[in-house]
Amino acid sequence: MDKLKTIRWQHVIFIMLIAVLAIGTDGCKSTGKLSKKERKTQIATAKKQLQSIVDGTTTLTLDEQDRLISDITNKNYKDPDLNQLLLQASQKLKQTYADQAKMNIQKIDAARAALLDLILNKDNKSADQLERELNAIKAQNLKDPEIDELIGRLEKKIKDMRSFNSGASLPVKTQLENAFTTIANSARSGNLTQADATIKSTLQFFSSDDVPVLIIISREGSIVDYDKPTTISRYLNFLRDQKSSKNDIDAMQLDANGKIKELDLIKK
């Protein structure tokens, strides 16, 4: 019995020692302590990953690069070479973000200019042509409120162009010259209601009722003589009062919203 008791306690003590060792091992792992070999391996891997960011050869997205740099920084390996790579990688990522933002601004500016030209449709493109160019701009997915608003305007224009006998299918220059003629003819026939309605709808093409209108009397090379300046509101009312339209459109200047901010006319 004494021998049995001694053997039993030896087993119990042995099992307890194993349990203590197991708990101790788990405890070391939970605190994040690494062996020299593990630490060296992780530092080497981190250096390789950071170097690829610095060299611009990484396949990680910008968000993934940001997370990687943060993770390595938080582990605080206290390795001078690694810390230097961390600094370089952070600067590289910052510059990449800045370059991306600059490129996006350039794309937005180019898209804005293109959309304004398409809305004005000086080249008299068909609805299908406008839609193809619109789809190319939409495919860039620029996520800019102003671009979205211009896209909406162009989509409406294309829809109107496809409507039966829609005047919106004509270039703005043609629409304005037709409006000038309509105002004069309506007034000459005594239909002042129609003339006033056309004046009101025509003003919507302009940024304000006071947009300057310059009328070219003569032009020889770079020398241009103008009549007395007026405004678009006064000019349209002048057409109604005179009951005739004697000028064509020579040039237009647009504002950032695609509205006409200056109009040059020339005598027919």
Buried-state track 88-118, b at ≥16 Cβ within 10 A, e below 16: ebbebbeeeeeeeeeeeeeebeebbebbbeb
**Range in 151-160, 176-185, 240-249 the model is least confident about:** 151-160
Quote the CA–CA distance of 242 and 234 in Å, as a whole number: 12
Predicted confidence band of residue 186 (pLDDT cuts 50, 70, 90): very high
The enclosing H or E element of 260 equals strand 260-267
Quote the CA–CA distance of 87 and 189 in Å, as a whole number: 79
Mean pLDDT value of segment 129-148: 94
Mean pLDDT value of segment 188-215: 94
Q: Domain segments of the chain: what residues?
A: 171-267
Give 10-40 pLDDT, tens digit per residue: 554 445 545 444 444 444 443 357 788 999 9
Mean pLDDT value of segment 235-244: 96
Mean pLDDT value of segment 33-57: 91
CATH of 171-267, one of 1.10.238, 3.10.450, 2.40.160, 2.60.120: 3.10.450
Q: Are 171 and 157 in contact (CB under 8 A)?
A: no
Sign of CA dihedral 8, 11, 13, 15: negative
Query: Residue 2: is its pLDDT beyond 60?
Result: no
Q: Supply the pLDDT for residue 10.
A: 54
Give 75-95 pLDDT, tens digit per residue: 999 899 999 999 999 999 999
> Exposed, middle or buried by CB within 10 Å (0-12, 13-18, 19+), for 153?
middle
267: β partners? 247
Of 131, 149, 206, 152, residue with least CA distance to 175: 206
Predicted TM-score (pTM) of this structure? 0.48
Predicted confidence band of residue 115 (pLDDT cuts 50, 70, 90): very high
Quote the CA–CA distance of 118 and 171 in Å, as a whole number: 10
Chain centroid to CA 48: how far?
35
CA distances from 244 to 36, 187, 235, 239 (A): 95, 9, 12, 6
Tokens of 225: 């003589």
